[in-house]
Amino acid sequence: MRITIFGSGYVGLVTGACLADVGHDVLCVDVDADKIARLNDGEVPIYEPGLEGLIRQNRATGRLRFTTDAAEGVAFGLLQFIAVGTPADEDGSADLRHVLEVAETIGRHMTQYRIIVDKSTVPVGTASKVARVISAELGRRRLQLPFDVCSNPEFLKEGAAIEDFSRGSRIVVGTDSERVRSAMRECYGPYNRNRDKLMFMGVRSAELTKYAANAMLATKISFINEIANLAERLGADVEEVRHGIGSDPRIGYHFIYPGCGYGGSCFPKDVKALAHTAEQVGHPAEMIAAVEAHQRASEEPPVRDAVPGLQRPAGRQDHRAVGPGLQAQHR
């Protein structure tokens, strides 16, 4: 299958390398000429365990190529993945400038049916915006060409991205098109053999799933930090409490390590973007706002011995100082 990926950053490179590794022909497009030159020289601009070898191996077979030629990219693949950055804007919303620029580029150059796949983390309603931009660009060219836009959010952890892509727990695809379902089944077929991990749902549901997942994990981190603060004032050991609640399979041990809060390139911006989306539709998302407020408070130095006479049990360390909450964050 021929696949084009716009964006050669973290998500784009991992996606391109993994799809090429299972036999697809992948062309990665980026506007950064220096980055593309480095990739074509065998230099990978980011570090992710196993990624450099995967890229080198698939470049050698010819299944993975890099270019700055957008027209070539649009002409190449049936699937047009958008995997560009969506940084936080000043008001906390996701900046869709790069996503919509790619949509405009696709509309400017497409000459036949294409499936546009939103891989970037984008707010609910972005697929509709992408479709409008492409339609407008086709209109300027006085063309009526069929296309579909679907959502296929990534669920990668930094440091384990290749494992997450190839052996992840689910592959979420938002679409109402049978043609898209068929193409995405072919795309992910090699990663879907042991059991059916493909989850087809509405486009808006898929877009919200990504934000909901990251917000849920951020909530768990904020919650255990709140318990750690309370444990310190009550003379309890939060590590013992963590084991006590984590043994409940309904809760589990993941993301309940007290630390200095959540971080990384995605949790902070995604929580803010979800809160902004809720505000836009007039819903007071109080829990999301509380998570963000707790994160801001966690950046302040902790108050020691707030209750006179209460001290940390002998031999216990302050686990909040370690900061494992910042390890291996989901994107």
d(CA 140, CA 22): 38
Tokens of 72: 């070539």
Helical residues (DSSP H) of the chain, grouped into ranges = 10-21, 33-40, 51-61, 70-76, 97-109, 126-140, 161-167, 178-188, 203-234, 238-246, 267-280, 286-298
- The structure tokens listed for 319 are 């686990």
Residue of 150, 187, 260, 266 marked active site = 266
CB 98 within 8 A of CB 69: no
Question: Do residues 81 and 3 touch, judged by C-beta distance below 8 A?
Answer: yes
Dihedral sign, CA of 19, 4, 103, 181?
negative
Task: Answer yes or no: 266 catalytic.
Answer: yes
- Determine the 3-state secondary structure of 132 from DSSP: helix
Specify the amino acid at residue 132. R
Q: In sequence order, what are the beta bridge partners of 172?
A: 199
Question: Which residues are part of the catalytic machinery?
Answer: 266
